[in-house]
């Protein structure tokens, strides 16, 4: 299989168009299943009460915020090393969805924190490093669009994204390295039925978020390709609109 | 796989945490709706720009 075949923007444009709807369908089906488990089946936590149900969107969006940054940084690495065009377009397509998930992780954490910690926000290592992640996404998008020549924007933003990778282990290990208000990674609840339903619901919601992120990225990369290749002959050909 | 709640009103009340739970789930729903709208707007703009350029070239 020739992978470079798919790295050509016109080919990938068509492939992305065919694949995107399936990822959205998968995301919707998984979200329905996950929300059913998380909101309806899972029992309420004895300590925190019903507000713990925020976990079913907080943890998946927080995981995706970091995972999408990692994938974006990998594409940025390809851009800098091989000077490939599609990798830069993919990084640009991932960033807004990554920022959206980061924002929702912070927002839901805030609304979970108020009844459990008594505050919407605290400058704790986990919260602060996640906020830095949001600013890294914003910085990436601003820098990518700051140049007349988009190829220069690609390279400048890619460099920023790669430097920002340092923040990922800081977010992940912050609850171990510092004494944070944010709880640690291992959540244990009394009773096994609770644990299984909670874990299943959280994993199903994570897969839903993942599939949604792929669908949104594929749709966005098609627009990025059109914006960048607007002078090429193929964008005026059949099967583009 | 039994439903935890005994009534819909109990479900919506979320044990007194309705505000915090629904502000969280509502924000995610709103964010997804906004993103999907923005994705469509961006695609329409990109296609319109190509159309415009083609018309300009046809005139010249």
Nearest beta carbon to residue B3 from set A41, A97, A235 = A41
Give Cα A90 to chain centroid, integer Å.
Answer: 13
* Single pTM value for the model: 0.93
The per-residue pLDDT for B57 is: 84
Going by C-alpha positions, the residue among B16, B33, B1 that lies closest to residue A48 is B16
Q: Is residue A241 part of a domain?
A: no
Going by C-alpha positions, the residue among A32, A108, A18 that lies closest to residue A64 is A108
> How many structural domains are present in chain A?
1
Buried b (16+ CB within 10 A) or exposed e, A33-55: bbbebbbebbebbeebbbbbbbb
What distance in Å separates the CA atoms of residue A200 and residue A192, rounded to the nearest whole number? 12
Token code pair at residue A202 = 């959280």
Q: Is residue A93 part of a domain?
A: yes
A235/B42 CB distance under 8 A: no
The per-residue pLDDT for A193 is: 47
Q: Is residue A8 part of a domain?
A: no
The per-residue pLDDT for A4 is: 67
Q: Is residue A49 part of a domain?
A: yes
Q: Is residue A151 part of a domain?
A: yes
**Average pLDDT value for chain A:** 92
Q: Is residue A195 part of a domain?
A: yes
What distance in Å separates the CA atoms of residue A156 and residue A162, rounded to the nearest whole number? 10
CA atoms within 13 A on the CB side of A147: 12
Q: Is residue A29 part of a domain?
A: yes
ipTM here: 0.94
CA atoms within 13 A on the CB side of A13: 21
- Best of B9, B36, B50 to substitute, by most chain A Cβ atoms within 10 angstroms, is B50
Could you read off the pLDDT of A11-59 as tens digits, one per residue? Answer: 999 999 999 999 999 999 999 999 999 999 998 988 889 999 999 999 9
Q: Does A53 touch chain B (CB under 8 A)?
A: yes
Could you read off the pLDDT of A117-154 as tens digits, one per residue? Answer: 999 999 999 999 999 999 999 999 999 999 999 999 99
Overall average pLDDT of the B5-33 stretch: 96
Domain that holds residue A91: 13-235
- Residue for token digits 């839901």? A108
What distance in Å separates the CA atoms of residue A13 and residue A215, rounded to the nearest whole number? 13
Alpha-carbon distances, residue A88 vs A40, A92, A145, A240, B12 (angstroms) = 42, 6, 12, 21, 44
- Best of B4, B8, B9, B21 to substitute, by most chain A Cβ atoms within 10 angstroms, is B21
Q: Which residues of B touch A216 (CB under 8 A)?
A: 35-36, 39
Tally of CB atoms within 10 A around A231:
9
- B13 compared with A185, residue with greater pLDDT: B13
- A241 compared with A110, residue with greater pLDDT: A110
Residue A230, phi then psi, degrees to nearest 5: -60, -20
Q: Is residue A6 part of a domain?
A: no
């Amino acid at each position: 299989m020739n992978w470079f075949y798919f790295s050509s923007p016109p080919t990938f444009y068509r492939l992305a168009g065919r694949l995107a709807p399936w990822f959205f369908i998968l995301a919707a089906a998984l979200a329905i299943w996950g929300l059913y488990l998380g909101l309806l089946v899972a029992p309420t936590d004895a300590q925190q009460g019903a507000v713990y149900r925020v976990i079913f969107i907080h943890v998946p969006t927080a995981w995706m915020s970091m995972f999408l940054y990692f994938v974006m940084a990998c594409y940025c690495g390809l851009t800098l090393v091989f000077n490939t065009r599609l990798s830069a377009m993919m990084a640009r397509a991932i960033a807004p969805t990554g920022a959206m998930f980061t924002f929702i992780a912070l927002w839901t954490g805030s609304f979970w924190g108020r009844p459990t910690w008594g505050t919407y926000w605290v400058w704790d290592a986990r919260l602060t490093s996640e906020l830095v992640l949001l600013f890294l996404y914003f910085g990436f998008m601003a820098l990518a669009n700051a140049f007349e020549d988009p190829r220069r924007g690609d390279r400048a933003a890619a460099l920023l994204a790669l430097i920002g990778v340092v923040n990922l282990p800081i977010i992940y290990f912050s609850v171990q390295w510092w004494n944070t208000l944010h709880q640690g990674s291992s959540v244990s609840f009394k009773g096994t039925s609770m644990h299984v339903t909670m874990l299943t619901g959280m994993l199903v919601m994570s897969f839903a978020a993942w599939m949604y992120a792929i669908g949104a990225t594929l749709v966005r990369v098609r627009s990025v390709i059109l914006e960048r290749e607007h002078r090429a002959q193929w964008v005026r050909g059949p099967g583009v609109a | 796989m039994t439903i935890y709640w005994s009534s819909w009103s109990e479900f919506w009340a979320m044990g007194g945490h309705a505000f915090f739970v629904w502000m969280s789930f509502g924000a995610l729903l709103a964010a997804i709706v906004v993103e999907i709208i923005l994705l469509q707007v961006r695609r329409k703009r990109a296609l319109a720009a190509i159309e415009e350029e083609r018309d300009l070239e046809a005139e010249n």
